[in-house]
Chains A and B, each alone.
Chain A
Amino acid sequence: MGHQFPPPKKSAKAGSAPADHGPSFDRADLFASIVDYTADAIIAINEACEVEYLNRAAERLFGYGREEVLGHNINMLMSKPHQERHDDYVATYLRTGAKVILDTWRETEGRKKDGTIFPIELGVRECWVADRRIFTGIVRDLTALKKAQEEVARKNADIRELSTPVINVADGVLVLPLIGTVDSARARDSMEMAITRMAQDKAAVLIVDITGVPAFDTMVANHIISMATCIRLMGGHSILTGISPATALTIVGLGVDLSMLSTRATLAQGLELAVDLVRNGTTG
C-alpha cells in the first residue's frame, strides 16, 4: 500500500535476509509493514539527503504528515548547528569514507513541526538497496528519560539534605540510597526502616540505590536480597539501581543471585521502571 521504501530486490548487495524463499513480494511486503508499524521512528534518506521513507512512528514523533517530509532535505527535522551542517557531514563521508555518526548511537536533538527542539537518541546505518546507497536512521525520543533524570537530580539534591534515608519520590515509590561503607547493623536498620515505611506509605516499589556504596560485597548483597524477599512477601517490588560496571563485575564474580530484584544501571532508569510498575498496576 504505497510504501515509498523500495522493496529489497535480488541484487548482490541488497539486504540478503529475505533471500530467495517463496514469493519474495509477500515477504517484502511483510517486512515493509513491520518497519512501518514498529514503535521506533525510522527514516531513510539518499545520498542527496532527501527523505525517501519515514514510518508511522516518525510521523508521530516529528508531527509531520508523510507527504510533508518525503523528498525534502532531512535537515528540516534537525536543530540548529546540525541543520546547516548536515549536508556537509554527508558529503564529507561520501568523499572520505570517514564515519562520524554511522554505526553508533548518539544523543542529539530533533525538531518537531511546531518548532519544538527535543532530545533524541539517533542510530544511523548505511545500506544498499538496488545499488543505491541509503542511510537509515532510527530515532528514539528521550524527552521522558531526560525529564526523569532531571527530576532525579533534583530529588538527589533533596536527598542529601534530608536526614532520613528513605525518600518518597513519587506516588507509591520510595528510594533508599545506600551511601558510604555499609556495616551490617546499619544495613539492617535502614532496610527494616525502608520496609516499614513501604507499608506506612502504601508504596508498591522500593528503589535501593547503591551509587554511593564504594564496596559492594556479599554482606551488602545478602541484605539487599533479604530485603527484596520481604518486599516480595508483602506484595511489593524492589529495584536495585546505581550498578557501576565494577559492581556488576563484583556481583557476577561473587556469584550473587539478584534475580529476585529488577536491576537498572541508573536511578533514573529505575525510577522510570518504578513509575511504569505503579501506573500499570502490575505490582503484585
Chain B
Amino acid sequence: MQRIEIRDEQDIVRARTAARSLAETLNFSVVDKTRIATAVSELARNVVVHGGGGYVEVESVNAEKRVGMRCVFVDQGPGIEDVERAMAEGFSTAGTIGHGLPGARRLMDDLSIEATPGQGTRVEIIKWIP
C-alpha cells in the first residue's frame, strides 16, 4: 500500500502517476489505466480544492475471485452536506463544471463517499481487472 500526501497541485500529478504505475503492474488495459489515472486526478483535485488537503492510499485488492485496485482519498475539510447532490451531474460549489465525482464514478467500478459535515470526506474507488 502506498500513501501519498495531497497538499498542492504537484501532488495531484504525483497521485495520478502512482495510480497509473500500480495499474500498470496489475496489467490493466490501456483504456482502464487511463480511466483510473483520470479518476484519481479528479478526486485528488477535490481533496486540494474542496477538502483543504489530505492524502490518498493506493493499493491492490484481492477479493473472492477478483483482483483489482483501490484508492482511498481522505481529508479533514468541510465534508459534504448533500452527497447525493454532489454526485449529480454539473453540481459544483466552486463554480467549476461539476463532472468530477459523477465522472469518476462512471470511470470506476465502484465509488463510495463518506462525508461528515465539518469533519471531512473519505472517497473510495475500486476498479476490477475484467
Looking at the assembled complex, report how far the CB atom of A39 sits from the nearest CB atom of chain B, in whole angstroms: 45
Q: Is B63 an interface residue (CB 8 A)?
A: no
A272 at the interface (CB under 8 A from B): no
- Asked if B1 lies at the interface with its beta carbon under 8 angstroms from chain A, I say no
Bound: A192/B30 CA distance, A = 10
Interface residue count for B (Cβ, 8 Å)? Answer: 2
A199 and chain B: residue at smallest CB distance: B30
B97 interfacial contact with A, CB 8 Å: no
Beta-carbon nearest neighbor of A195 in chain B = B31
Closest chain A residue to B31, Cβ basis: A192
Chain B residues, Cβ within 8 Å of A192 = 31
Measured in the bound complex, the distance between the Cα atoms of B32 and A192 in whole Å is 11
The A interface, classified by DSSP as helix, strand, loop or mixed, is helix
Give min CB distance, B31 to chain A, whole Å: 6
Residues on the B chain within 8 Å of A196, using CB: 30-31
Within the assembled complex, what's the spacing in Å between the Cα atoms of A196 and B31? Answer: 9
Interface of chain B residues 23 through 47 with chain A (CB within 8 A) = 30-31
A29 to chain B, nearest CB (A): 61
Cβ-closest chain A residue relative to B32:
A192
CA–CA, A196 to B32, complex, Å? 13
* A196 and B30 alpha carbons, distance in the complex (Å): 9
B30: chain A residues within 8 A (beta carbon): 196
Could you tell me which residues of chain B, from 71 to 99, have a CB within 8 Å of some CB in chain A? none
Task: Give the residues in chain A near B31, CB-CB below 8 Å.
Answer: 192, 196
- Complex CA distance for A143 and B38, rounded to whole angstroms: 50
Minimum CB distance partner of A192 in chain B: B31
Tell me, in angstroms, the Cα distance from A192 to B33 when the chains sit together. 14
Q: List 3 A-B contacts (CB under 8 A).
A: A192-B31, A196-B30, A196-B31
Shortest A189–chain B CB gap in Å is 9
Q: Which residues of A in the span 176-225 have a Cβ within 8 Å of any Cβ on B?
A: 192, 196
Interface string of A142-184 (1 = CB under 8 A from B): 0000000000000000000000000000000000000000000
Closest chain-B Cβ to A229's Cβ sits at a distance in Å of 15
The 3 closest A-B pairs by CB, nearest first: A192-B31, A196-B30, A196-B31
| Chain B min CB distance to A192 (Å) | 6
Report the bound CA distance from A275 to B30 in whole Å.
Answer: 30
Interface residue ranges of B1-58 to A (CB < 8 Å):
30-31
Nearest chain B CB to A27's CB is how many angstroms away? 58
Query: Which A residue sits closest to B30, measured CB to CB?
Result: A196
| Docked pose: A157 CA to B31 CA in angstroms | 31
Q: How far, in Å, is A197 (CB) from chain B's closest CB?
A: 12
Min CB–CB distance B127 → chain A (angstroms):
15
A136–B85 Cα distance when bound, in Å, is 69
B103 to chain A, nearest CB (A): 14
Distance in angstroms between the alpha carbons of A192 and B35 in the assembled complex: 13
For the complex, what is the distance from the CA of A196 to the CA of B34, rounded to whole Å? 13
Provide the bound-state CA to CA distance between A9 and B109, in Å: 76
Bound together, the chains give a CA A192 to CA B31 distance in angstroms of 8
CB 8 Å contact bits of A3-24 with B (1 = contact, 0 = none): 0000000000000000000000
Shortest A48–chain B CB gap in Å is 70
A22 nearest CB across to chain B (Å): 60
Instruction: Name the residue of chain A whose CB is nearest to the CB of B29.
Output: A192
Interface string of A24-68 (1 = CB under 8 A from B): 000000000000000000000000000000000000000000000
CA distance A97 to B57 in the complex (A): 87
In the complex, what's the smallest C-beta–C-beta distance from B35 to chain A, in angstroms?
11
